[in-house]
Structure 1
Amino acid sequence: MIEFIHVDKTYANGTAALRDINLRIEQGEFVAVIGLSGAGKSTLIRCINRMHEITGGTLMVDDVDVAKLKGREIRRFRRRIGMIFQSFNLVTRTTVLKNVLVSFVPELPYWRKWTGIYTREQKIKALEALDKVGILDKSFVRVDQLSGGQQQRVALARTLAQSPDIILADEPIASLDPVTARVVMDDFKNINKAMSISVIMNIHHVDMALEYADRIIGISQGEVVFDGEASKVTPEILQHIYGGQWEGEKHD
């Protein structure tokens, strides 16, 4: 369970990115965060795993006060939270399997880190993660030989291998074509339902958000201006979230 209690985030230059955020996200929810660029969507997501520090209020994850964690506690806490980026963050000159195995590096003894030798159990877990996203057959292919969609699925498999309770996704389909984006969104949905992993996704593709997410959080100028079921979102609500600039999404 994730709970924002009067959370504020102000950057060093004085920019107020989040203002008095109050949210409660239960385990197993699929939540899409939408709004204009610069509205505070990425900041909201990145506060959950302490990539950004909050400057006011309280942020709780399963009764843990995130802001009070220090050093090793933060690293241990982050093991429970997978993070998916738009840019994939993969090592493209090595194999798919090796990229997934990277998720185990924080828990390896030093000699295994130096030698790059993983346990049999870790290798099996990595292969199982690749199987869950449908690219087991690419295990020994170099990442730079894969399409963008396949690379994003490698990133998702790497996250799954660490057995997270929560997956945070920051614009995971922004650089993908519509067909590939749908395949990746199917993966997120299947993982969310089959494994009861919470998914909180910052996304610009509103039609995808409404189709795949159970819940929509609309952010405008750092404030939550809508929080409700995806099925309840109307064009009028979208106009409100997007400050009157919503014109609908255009498709070829």
Structure 2
Amino acid sequence: MIKFEHVSKVYSNGVKGLDDVTLTIDKGEFVAIIGLSGAGKSTLIRTINKIIDISSGKVMVDKIDVSQLKGKELRKFRRKIGMIFQSFNLVTRATVIRNVLTAKVPDMPFIKVLFGLFSKKDKIEALEALDKMGIVEKAFLRSDQLSGGQQQRVALARTLVQNPEIILADEPVSSLDPVTAKQVMDDFKRINKEMNISILINIHHVELALEYADRIIGIQDGKIVYDGKAENVNNEILDRIYKKDLDRKSTVSL
């Protein structure tokens, strides 16, 4: 369970990233966070694994106060939280399997990391994760030989090797074409259902959010302005999230 208790984040320039956010996310939920650029979507998900420190309030994950974690405790905590980025964050000159195996680095002695001495068990787990993503045949290709969608699947496979309880995805499909974006969202949905992993996705594409997520959180100027079932989202709610004076078609369309 993830719990925000009156969480605020004020950046050094005075901008409010989050403004008194209180919400609870249960295990196994698929949650999409929507809103304008700069509304606080990325800030919200990045406080969960303490990539961003909060200014006040409390973020709890399975009864752990995230704000109190540091050093080894923080690194250990982050291992159970996968993070997917828009830019994939792959070493493009390395092979696909080597990129997936980087998930094992935090638990390895430095000398083994230096020489890439991964165990047979680690390699099998990496191949199994790639197989789940349907790209095991790409394991020994360089990552820069893959399409954008395939690279995002490699990032997902790398996350699965961590055996995460939570996956945070920060605009994971914004750089993909509409067809590929839907394929990657299919992967997220399958992982969520088959493995009961909580998934929080910060996403601009409202159509995809409504199609795939069970729950929608709408955020505006750091405040939660909608939190409910995707099926209940209507034009009035979208007006509330995106402000009435905006051309919503240009804001939310693929």
Tell me the TM-score normalized by structure 1.
0.98
Please state whether the residue corresponding to 2:248 is helix, strand or coil. Answer: coil
Aligned to 1:32: 32
Please say if 1:173 is aligned against 2:177. no
Structure 2, unpaired ranges of 5+: none
Map 1:139-150 onto structure 2 (within 5 A): 139-150=139-150
Match for residue 57 of structure 1?
A: 57
Deviations 1:67-112 (A, max 9, x none): 0112100000000100000000001111100000011001001221
**Equivalent residue, structure 2, for 1:102:** 102
- Measure, in 1, the Cα distance between the counterparts of 2:152 and 2:31: 19
Give the Cα–Cα distance (whole angstroms) in 1 for the partners of residues 151 and 16 of structure 2: 34
Instruction: For 1:221 and 1:186, locate their aligned partners in 2 and report how far apart those are by CA, in whole Å.
Output: 30
- 1:202 counterpart letter in structure 2: N
Secondary structure, counterpart of 1:208 in structure 2: helix
For residue 242 of structure 1, what is the aligned residue in structure 2?
242
Q: State the alpha-carbon separation in 1 of the partners of residues 103 and 247 from structure 2.
A: 39
Q: 1: distance between equivalents of 2:183 and 2:105?
A: 29
Structure 2 distance, partners of 1:241, 1:247, is: 10
1:134 to 1:109, Cα distance in 2 relative to 1, 3 A: same
Q: How many Å separate the matches in 1 of 2:149 and 2:17? A: 31
Structure 2: how far apart are the matches of 1:170 and 1:16? 19
Q: Whole-Å Cα distance in 1 between the matches of residues 230 and 121 of structure 2?
A: 39
Structure 1 unmatched runs, 5+:
none
Deviates more, 1:117-126 or 1:209-218: 117-126
User: Which residue does the alignment assign to 2:213?
Assistant: 213
Fraction of identical pairs, as percent:
62
| 1:115 shift after superposition | 1.3
CA deviation string 1:45-82 (max 9, x = no partner):
00000000001001100000000112100000000100
Pair 1:216–1:129, CA change in 2 (3 A): same
Separation (CA, whole Å) in 2 of partners of 1:158 and 1:247? 35
Q: CA deviation at 1:133?
A: 0.8
1:250 Cα deviation from its structure 2 partner: 4.5
Task: In structure 1, give the amino acid aligned to 2:207.
Answer: D
* Cα contact 2:3–2:23 (8 A) shared by 1: yes
**Contact in 1 for aligned 2:206/2:253 (Cα 8 Å):** no
Equivalent position of 1:83 in the other structure: 83
Aligned partner of residue 47 in structure 2, secondary structure:
helix
Q: Is the 8 A contact 1:239 1:246 kept in 2?
A: no
Matched pairs, number = 251
CA-based RMSD of the aligned residues comes to: 0.9
Residues 250/228 of structure 1: CA separation in 2 closer, same or farther (3 Å cut): closer
Question: Which residue identity is paired with 2:171?
Answer: E
Q: Equivalences for 1:57-206 in 2 at 5 Å?
A: 57-206=57-206
Contact conserved, 2:170 with 2:202, CA < 8 A, in 1? yes
Question: Counterpart amino acid of 2:237?
Answer: I
1: CA distance between counterparts of 2:77 and 2:181? 30
Which amino acid counterpart does residue 82 of structure 1 have in structure 2?
G
User: Which residue identity lines up with residue 29 of structure 2 in the other structure?
Assistant: E
Counterpart-to-counterpart distance in 2, 1:201 and 1:64: 22
Aligned-partner SS, 1:228:
strand
CA distance in structure 2 between the aligned counterparts of 1:229 and 1:13, rounded to whole angstroms = 35
Secondary structure, aligned partner of 2:9: strand
State the distance in 1 between where 2:247 and 2:78 align.
Answer: 36
Q: Distance in 2 between matches of 1:52 and 1:195?
A: 27
| SS of 2:89 mapped into structure 1 | coil
Q: Note closer, same or farther for the CA distance 1:246–1:235 as it changes in structure 2 (3 Å cut).
A: farther
